[in-house]
A and B are shown apart, each in its own frame.
Chain A
Amino acid sequence: GAVVSQHPSWVICKSGTSVKIECRSLDFQATTMFWYRQFPKQSLMLMATSNEGSKATYEQGVEKDKFLINHASLTLSTLTVTSAHPEDSSFYICSGKTGETQYFGPGTRLLVL
């Protein structure tokens, strides 16, 4: 199957700093990428949908100015958590779509101290 990578897999940062997470589709072109967030023992919650070359569409309750999404190419999307706070600590998973199939990255665990 198609492969999606995420970098970094783990990141620890201080409160107030910004963190960028990269999501790449390695062997397919993802016209649409989705970003999810998963808190401990909770399910994946959709944060936003991004189409290549367009602004991302954010789900209700997700601050677009805090979670900046850029989908500059068909193989790369980035999520930047700006001015991160401890409550932003979570597991972030991206997913690239080709056809009607979503392929998921391995996730990035963010810990904000």
Chain B
Amino acid sequence: KQEVTQIPAALSVPEGENLVLNCSFTDSAIYNLQWFRQDPGKGLTSLLLIQSSQREQTSGRLNASLDKSSGRSTLYIAASQPGDSATYLCAARNQAGTALIFGKGTTLSVSS
């Protein structure tokens, strides 16, 4: 059964710092992996989707990498801003058509 783990659980950084959020998954035979953002009390916003055949995806200041062999993904946020403060969730899909399995998330706080 797929399990997704995110480290750290919480992270506080000053504005402008580059940071890395980590995600690991137990079953490396994933179909794809997705990063989401969740603001307090709100739903999910999709950030990046990486297919199993891809190594990374980029969107603006965000870059997500995928290493299936080691069961890891990282989300890199460049030049962090207070507006980046949120919980970031990593989710893996094992097979086409199945549901995303989520990690517990990393709660990021960026201070100005």
In the assembled complex, A85 has its CB within 8 A of some CB on chain B: no
- Using known A-B contacts A32-B97, A43-B105, A106-B42, determine if residue A100 contacts B89 with beta carbons closer than 8 Å: no
In the assembled complex, B79 has its CB within 8 A of some CB on chain A: no
Chain A, residues 81-113, CB within 8 Å of chain B (1/0): the string is: 000000000010101010011101111010000
Interface residue from B31, B41, B96, B103 paired with A109 (Cβ < 8 Å):
B41
In the assembled complex, B72 has its CB within 8 A of some CB on chain A: no
Hey, which chain B residues are within 8 Å of A46, CB to CB? 99-101
Which size class do A's interface residues fall under? 20 to 34
Hey, which chain B residues are within 8 Å of A91, CB to CB? 41
Task: Specify the chain A residue showing the minimal Cβ separation from B36.
Answer: A104
Smallest CB–CB gap between A47 and chain B, Å? 10
Interface residue from A43, A93, A106 paired with B103 (Cβ < 8 Å):
A43
Interface residues of chain A: helix, strand, loop or mixed (majority):
strand
In the complex, A46→B89 CA distance in Å? 14
Q: Give the contacts of B71-96 with A (CB-CB under 8 A).
A: 89, 91, 93, 96
In the assembled complex, A42 has its CB within 8 A of some CB on chain B: yes
Whether B99 pairs with A104 at a CB distance below 8 angstroms is no
Q: Give the contacts of A1-53 with B (CB-CB under 8 A).
A: 1, 32, 34, 36, 42-46, 49
Whether B44 pairs with A101 at a CB distance below 8 angstroms is no
Task: Specify the chain A residue showing the minimal Cβ separation from B43.
Answer: A106
Hey, which chain B residues are within 8 Å of A34, CB to CB? 99-100
Whether B100 pairs with A102 at a CB distance below 8 angstroms is yes
Q: Give the contacts of A46-63 with B (CB-CB under 8 A).
A: 46, 49
CB-CB nearest 3 A-B residue pairs = A106-B43, A43-B104, A104-B44
15 CB-based A-B contacts, threshold 8 Å: A32-B97, A34-B99, A34-B100, A44-B44, A44-B102, A46-B100, A91-B41, A93-B44, A101-B49, A102-B99, A104-B43, A104-B46, A106-B42, A106-B43, A109-B41
